[in-house]
Amino acid sequence: MKRSDVNRIMRESDTFIRSFGYVMPPFAYWSPSEFRARKAEAQAIITHNLGWDITDYGLGDFSGTGLFLFTVRNGNNADLSKGRGMLYAEKAMISRKDQYSPMHRHNLKAEDIINRGGGTLVIELFGDTDGRCDRSKGTVVYTDGIRRELPAGHKLKLAPGESVTLMPNEHWHAFWGEGGDVFVGEVSTVNDDNTDNVFEDPRIARFGGIEDDEEPWHLLVSDYAKWLA
């Protein structure tokens, strides 16, 4: 993706999210120079990959296959084995109308996916067999605490205010907005996006590359290693 496109998407996304009364934390609005100046006090932000995350999944077509995310909070995966600590994470996301987020599952992360407002969030679901997406297998999910048995490939539609709970190594899912862009909330177990996403299509990359045709407005999570070194 070009940095100019990333900057534009950031601005558009911030405006869209604010239209629902949601305001991101102060560090979201640090300039790159302020981030560098405050690096010492911001180690938890950097280490836990909090912040802006815009991906085209390495396919070069953000409007067709892509996702906007902002990680608001995230713990440390190492605490999971201890059974205590900050074992949770939260993300704000935007799934644009007809914008596809590819079929995947998670190794460790259980998550609630919540339609916070906008259009309808469509989630396509399949079961798992031996770690692979089984397109002949249905699944069982809970939507706002209600148990639902779904056939293979069911397209679960969440209206604003509705949510679904998805479990690791069990629920393969892809999603997109229908009828309009969707403000999506995610509340989950701590997660490492570098290791926890398993895509059905091996061509998919969780983080795409950035072509710096202009300076960044704000740093992406994937920028930290380069810009804050």
Q: What CATH number is attached to the domain comprising 188? A: 2.60.120.10
Per-residue pLDDT at 31: 97
Nearest CA to 90 out of 49, 43, 47 is that of 49
Per-residue model confidence (pLDDT) at position 208: 87
pLDDT for res 77: 87
- The pLDDT assigned to 23 comes to 96
How far apart, in whole angstroms, are the C-alpha atoms of residue 203 and residue 151? 27
Confidence (pLDDT) at 185: 98
Buried-exposed string 65-101: b where 16+ CB fall within 10 A, e elsewhere: bbbbbbbbebbebeeeeeeeeeeebebbbbbbeebbb
Cβ–Cβ < 8 Å for 67, 95: yes
Q: Write out the residue range of the structural domain in which residue 97 sits.
A: 3-227
For the segment 102-127, what is each residue's pLDDT rounded down to a tens digit? 999 999 999 999 999 999 999 999 99
Token pair for 65:
């296959």
Q: Hey, what are 180's tokens?
A: 């309009």
What averages of pLDDT result for each successive group of 10 residues across the chain (229 residues)?
97 98 97 97 96 96 97 93 94 98 97 98 98 98 98 98 98 98 98 94 92 97 93
Number of domains in the chain: 1
Counting Cα atoms < 13 Å in the Cβ hemisphere of 188 gives: 29
